[in-house]
Amino acid sequence: MQSLMTRGQLRIAAARRPDHARHWHGVLAAGAERVGFPEDHAAAPGAPPRPEAVTVPLGDALADRLAAASRGAEAARFVLVAAAVAALLRRWTGATEVLVGRPADGDALAGLLPLRVAAGPDRSYRDLVGQVRAALPEAERYADYPVELLAEDLAPHAEQGRHPFLDVAVHTADAAVDPRVGITVAVADADLTVHHDAARHDRGTAERIAAHLLLLLAAALAAPDGPVDDVDLVTPADRAVLAAMNDTTVDVAAGPRPDAWVARRAADTPEGVAVRTDEGAWTWAELERRVAALAADLRAAGAGPETVVAVLAARSPAQLAAILAVHRAGAAYLPVDPGYPPARVGYLLRDSGAALVVAADATAVPDGVPVVALPPADADPAPTADPAPTPAREP
């Protein structure tokens, strides 16, 4: 009916239904977030939608369970599926309130009825089902109202070509799909279809939505009182993606550590500039002298393989020399920001088991932790008799 009426006629019809207007104003302005499944592409404003669909079988077990839970009633099946879609929206987006659309019956002026669902982190599937079931009679009672006219007040900046309020809808029958809605889920007796706008969502995203919805429905129907946030939605395809992304094994050929590389550069080009700051520059020879001198102090204090040495210093050439010196001594270094609160510094030292701390200010180090002084940038350490890098050990 809405498509056969002019905008002026719709306004006249709306004016005759003030109770309907108040109801939908309340639903749409009550804080429900406009959320949809994350989009893969930003469609150009006003661009025509590119409708596509992904259909997957429910499987005998889920189809039987859904039929039993709904007792074969289409309205009950809608409630079960809409609650699962709201839960999945929550899982994908983190939203605490969502809007899900439902096709209005017959010639109702609404077109799609927005259903508001509170889907917080501790909500159970039974709770979400109850919310959808309670919202339906009210939505149907006020369905004969051109809801989209409210966009002028509540969504004045809605993009052309998009539904002003809804990004997700649920069907359970052969209702026409509104192409302005990004994702529409339709469930039949034996399969589930995800209708999507390919200008916004890739086919792979639609397939993941379908797979996750099957997992969530199966788990929620089996245990409706548990939090829907606890349902494991990781599919075999997801696990394969995670494994590929985390396969960071690298065949690293044996080579010199940074401190050994500095020693080599100091031998080859001693007068070349190694470090430059606003305060001045160090040559490779100067950097090497500092590293060797501090490494000797660290070794004398007990640093070596299997020990952790904390470097409590701000970013500076002196900090760089300290890190290289820890490498030279054969220890592992732990960077500690001197701006941390004392309690945080103490925790890091205890938790890491640091044997020593290199610091310019010993008062910043908790009692009981040995400190090796970090020479200031303008100090010129004397040459040390222990300049050699510690040989790298086999892993």
Q: Which residue has the higher pLDDT, 242 or 150?
A: 242
Least confident of 4-8, 40-44, 163-167, 314-318: 4-8
Least confident of 32-36, 153-157, 294-298, 326-330: 153-157
Q: Which residue has the higher pLDDT, 363 or 63?
A: 63
Above 80 in pLDDT, residue 370? yes
CA neighbor of 255 nearest in space, from 246, 267, 264, 247: 264
Above 50 in pLDDT, residue 94? yes
DSSP secondary structure, 211-234, as one string: HHHHHHHHHHHHSTTSBGGGS---
Residue 228 identity = V
Above 60 in pLDDT, residue 381? yes
What's the average model confidence in pLDDT over 170-182?
A: 85
Class of domain 258-373: alpha beta
CB atoms inside a 10 Å sphere around CB 361: 12
CB atoms inside a 10 Å sphere around CB 117: 24
What pLDDT, on a 0 to 100 scale, did the predictor assign at position 108? 61
Q: Are 231 and 119 in contact (CB under 8 A)?
A: no
Above 60 in pLDDT, residue 304? yes
What pLDDT, on a 0 to 100 scale, did the predictor assign at position 392? 47
Above 80 in pLDDT, residue 95? yes
**Domain residues of the chain, as ranges?**
2-245, 258-373
What pLDDT, on a 0 to 100 scale, did the predictor assign at position 66? 94
What pLDDT, on a 0 to 100 scale, did the predictor assign at position 217? 96
What pLDDT, on a 0 to 100 scale, did the predictor assign at position 285? 93
Least confident of 187-201, 283-297, 358-372: 358-372
What pLDDT, on a 0 to 100 scale, did the predictor assign at position 2? 44
Work out the pLDDT band at 106, boundaries 50, 70, 90: low
Mean predicted lDDT score pLDDT of the chain: 86
CA 59 to each of CA 190, 217, 226: distance values in angstroms, whole numbers, following the listed order: 7, 12, 23
What's the average model confidence in pLDDT over 343-348?
A: 90
Above 60 in pLDDT, residue 32? no
CA neighbor of 305 nearest in space, from 368, 370, 194, 392: 392
What pLDDT, on a 0 to 100 scale, did the predictor assign at position 161? 77
Above 80 in pLDDT, residue 111? no
CA neighbor of 329 nearest in space, from 356, 374, 298: 298
Helices (H), the chain: 7-15, 18-28, 60-70, 74-93, 125-141, 151-154, 203-222, 236-245, 258-268, 284-300, 317-329, 342-352
Least confident of 19-28, 49-58, 120-129, 329-338: 19-28
What's the average model confidence in pLDDT over 298-327?
A: 93
What pLDDT, on a 0 to 100 scale, did the predictor assign at position 253? 61
Q: Are 353 and 308 in contact (CB under 8 A)?
A: yes
What pLDDT, on a 0 to 100 scale, did the predictor assign at position 393? 47
Q: Which residue has the higher pLDDT, 5 or 243?
A: 243
Which residues are registered as beta bridge partners of 213?
A: none
What pLDDT, on a 0 to 100 scale, did the predictor assign at position 17? 79
Give the fold, CATH level 3, of 2-245: Chloramphenicol Acetyltransferase (3.30.559)
What's the pLDDT tens digit per position in 79-91?
999 999 999 999 9
What pLDDT, on a 0 to 100 scale, did the predictor assign at position 388? 55
Work out the pLDDT band at 395, boundaries 50, 70, 90: very low
| Dihedral sign from CA coordinates of 62, 64, 70, 73 | positive
What's the average model confidence in pLDDT over 169-184?
A: 87
What pLDDT, on a 0 to 100 scale, did the predictor assign at position 151? 72
pTM: 0.62
